[in-house]
Amino acid sequence: MSTKKTKATSQGGFRQAQAWLHTWCGLWFSWLLFAVFLTGTLAVFDEPITHWMTPEHHAEEAAAAAKKGEPTADRAQRLAWGMAYMAEHHPGAAMWELWPSDAQGGGELKVYWFDANRQYAGASLDPATGRPIKEDVGHATRATLGGHHFVDFHYELHAGTVGLWIVGIAAMAMLVALVSGVITHKRIFKDFFTFRPKKGQRSWLDAHNVTAVLALPYHAMITYTGLVTLMFMYMPWGPQVAYKAHGGTDTFFAEAFPGGVRTQIKASGTKAALAPLAPMVAQATAHWDGAPVGRIVVHQPNDANAVVSLTRAEGRHLSYDQPTMQFNGTTGALIGTFGDVPKAAAETRGVLYGLHIGRFADPLLRALFFLSGLAGCLMVATGLLLWAVKERQKYAKTLKQGGRIGFGLRLVDGLNLGAIAGLPVAMAAFFWANRLLPVDVASRNDVEIRWFFIVWGAAAVLGLLRPTLRMWQAQLALGALLFALLPVLNALTGPAPLTTSLRAGPSAVAGFDLVAIALGLGLAGATWLVERKRRKAVAAPKKAVKPPPPAELAASAAAGQGS
Amino acid sequence: MNTRTSSSFSFRSPALRLVSRVAAAVLGGYALASAVAVFLAAVLPAAPAEAALGGMQFSFAVYAVAVIWAFAPVSLPRAWAGLLLPAVVLAGLGLMLRGAGGGA
């Protein structure tokens, strides 16, 4: 074996091995990766999706947008209301956390605290009156996970810790597939400008290359930053070893992210009045060159050991982490400032985290994230289809003689169908369930998600039973219909049809409807491509290996450009 | 017998060798990545928390390269040894320098 290995140790051998790794690593994880990429792409717009999915709020959102010029309470008043609420309702909590306003001084007024079991709890206050907003005043709001369904699914598959690990392993496989893919394609940039129509599988390979190379920096960034986002779970060994004899991981978090919510302040047991917050806020805003305070955390309020942490409001900063100032809660004296001079590793993590969630981005950049994510979906999908096309050629002779394809290829065909064509149907079904289920159904948010999984499961089973071009067409066409008709559903079941929302808002609802139409048209285009392919196959049944129609190449390429 | 695998790697008993190589890549790679994280947490010239954060963020790149290397044409014993030996050495150094009460 060693002699054979020595012979194989050449450039070609390495590249061949990487091609093998790329193929199999890609194949086994691509069904899951496609789902993670597609749901993650929708997660870019989780807030607009949630808006669309709670039509009860559309009227008040439109009203709020209309009176945007009217002043709600100013920052100081909002903070005072928040503090008054906490003092009245949660005087004994170990931590208060207040978000008085957004960076512009408007938006919601939210308060959080640790309850008796040290669990997070929260409430929303009316920014015009300071009174708590009761969700069930006047009319019931439907319970829904909204766009957060896609956020949750794309990193934990609604399966908790197990899901987190599965997605983490898939992300690592994605990273390996990206690197080995680049190694495999030695002429990667030349190939990017190459199209070879009428060369069978080359067409799928070219489409795979275009979608991969086009957004390669995005693919690498989103995969690596995804891993970093959850690195405290995936790779905890550094701090565990380094802090084993130095106070444990709590000390690590306190040192790594000083001034954070995780900071543990012990209560002294001695009561003491809280110093006024207004001077602290003024001092912090002055220190940050006028940038407003976004978050106020009070550790051990009304205790002699109270500490107040002020964090700068999120603005257009790349990093997720914001500088913080800490004050003594009883004297009001400054304890320290944190994050003014970013520390390299912590700031890197903050930037990587910020890049992944893209909250710094304006709508245009978010749209680019969305399109790059779609390119990632197409890269994964074309990779899967390329494997099936290649494998099918091995059966060309058998098929010609009336034989059958192997079990492995049949399985891949079926899974490809359920994963690629079935998922959009399931996602659309989720939106339809949101609008069609009665508002007062018990555990409604779970029922919506159950419909997502039921429809996806049905699509996957049908795909495995009949992995034919007809089935591809049926599922793609169904997805196209369900997405394209979402604006109609919205018009029938909500107060803000596209005709209204385009003129008077809410803009989130208008945007959702337009993107739904675009996705519907994209799926309809895919249905049409399959129809051409099927007609060719019917017209020339004798031809063993048929070149795919050139229109398909053009369309795959166009889709790769981010249509 | 899986001809595809044997043509790529010249394995004589492909299934077991493949399982071993995948295990070397997945487990050996994770061990090496963890060891690098532990080692960097001990030696990076920065505050301890900073060093630990830096090591964690770098470790995923180490993992990816380790998997790539495990699937280069190297013999199985070399693949295992090439991943586990540095992992043991780096983790040991990290433990000695910082973990067991040493370091700042």
- Closest chain A residue to the Cα of B38, Cα to Cα: A238
Between A427 and B103, the more confident residue is A427
Secondary element (H or E) of residue A308: strand A307-312
Rounded Cα distance, A6 and A13, in Å: 10
Q: Which residue has the tokens 């051990």?
A: A300
pLDDT at B92: 94
* pTM > 0.90: yes or no: no
* Closest to A433 in 3D by CA, of A149, A111, A26: A149
Asked if residues A424 and A377 have their Cβ atoms less than 8 Å apart, the reply is: no
- Give the mean pLDDT of A77-103: 87
Asked if residues A552 and A469 have their Cβ atoms less than 8 Å apart, the reply is: no
Q: Is B3 on the interface with A (CB under 8 A)?
A: no
Asked if residues A553 and A206 have their Cβ atoms less than 8 Å apart, the reply is: yes
Rounded Cα distance, A59 and A117, in Å: 37
Would you state the structure tokens that stand for residue A325, as one six-digit string?
Answer: 């100032």
| Residues 26-85 in B contacting A (C-alpha not used; CB under 8 Å) | 33-34, 37-38, 40-42, 44, 46-57, 59-61, 63-65, 67-68, 71-75
- pLDDT higher than 90, residue A195: no
pLDDT at A541: 55
Assembly ipTM: 0.86
Rounded Cα distance, A275 and A547, in Å: 77
C-alpha distances (whole Å) from B15 to each of A17, B3, B6 are: 16, 11, 9
Q: Alpha helices of A134-277 — where are they, by DSSP H?
A: 148-156, 160-184, 188-192, 202-214, 216-229, 231-234, 237-242, 248-256
Between A279 and A321, the more confident residue is A279
**Pick from B52, B63, B71: CB nearest A239:** B52
One-character DSSP codes across A91-122: TT-SEEEEE---TTS-S-EEEEEE-TTS-EEE
Confidence of residue A373 (pLDDT cuts 50, 70, 90): very high
Q: Show Cβ contacts of residue A457 under 8 Å, excluding neighbours closer than 6 positions.
A: none
Chosen for mutation from A1, A166, A176 (greatest number of chain B CBs closer than 10 Å) is A176
pLDDT at A187: 67
Between A218 and A402, the more confident residue is A218
Confidence of residue A255 (pLDDT cuts 50, 70, 90): confident
Confidence of residue A303 (pLDDT cuts 50, 70, 90): confident
Test A21 with B73 for CB contact under 8 angstroms: no
- pLDDT higher than 50, residue A464: yes
- Which residues make beta-bridge pairs with A113? A96, A121
| The one-letter amino acid at A426 | A
Question: Among residues of chain B, what percentage have pLDDT more than 70?
Answer: 83
First to last CA, chain A: 50
Test A179 with B64 for CB contact under 8 angstroms: yes
Lowest mean pLDDT among A81-95, A456-470, A530-544: A530-544
